[in-house]
């Protein structure tokens, strides 16, 4: 059975979320502008024509989702 692109994206997002949750430090947020600037220069990002605004929106929503999940565990 061939995997659909939608399913691949779902798996990739879940893996990214796990890795980000495990590795993210609040100190990383101090360097987010530089890190995103460097990331969007990578070949894979250039190939999909991602803008800095899109990168900010994506990482912002990912970090908020992780933060909300972690905070819900405190209740």
Report the predicted TM-score, pTM, of the whole model to 2 decimal places: 0.78
Q: Please indicate, yes or no, if residue 35 is contained in any of the structural domains.
A: no
- Tally: H helices and E strands in the chain: 4, 0
CA distance 11 to 68: 20
Task: For residue range 22-70, list pLDDT tens digits in order.
Answer: 988 877 778 888 889 999 999 999 999 999 999 999 999 999 999 999 8
- Residue 65: give the domain boundaries: 49-75
Which pLDDT value is given to residue 25? 81
Q: Please indicate, yes or no, if residue 2 is contained in any of the structural domains.
A: no
Q: Please indicate, yes or no, if residue 58 is contained in any of the structural domains.
A: yes
Q: Please indicate, yes or no, if residue 63 is contained in any of the structural domains.
A: yes
Residue 66's closest CA among 7, 16, 5? 16
CA distance 26 to 10: 26
Tally of structural domains, the chain: 1
Q: Please indicate, yes or no, if residue 68 is contained in any of the structural domains.
A: yes
């Amino acid at each position: 059975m061939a995997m659909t692109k939608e399913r691949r994206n779902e798996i990739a997002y879940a893996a990214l979320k796990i890795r980000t949750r495990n590795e993210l430090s609040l100190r990383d947020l101090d360097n987010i502008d530089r890190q995103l600037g460097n990331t969007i220069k990578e070949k894979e990002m250039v190939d999909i024509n991602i803008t800095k605004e899109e990168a900010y929106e994506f990482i912002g929503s990912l970090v908020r989702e992780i933060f909300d999940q972690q905070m819900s565990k405190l209740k």
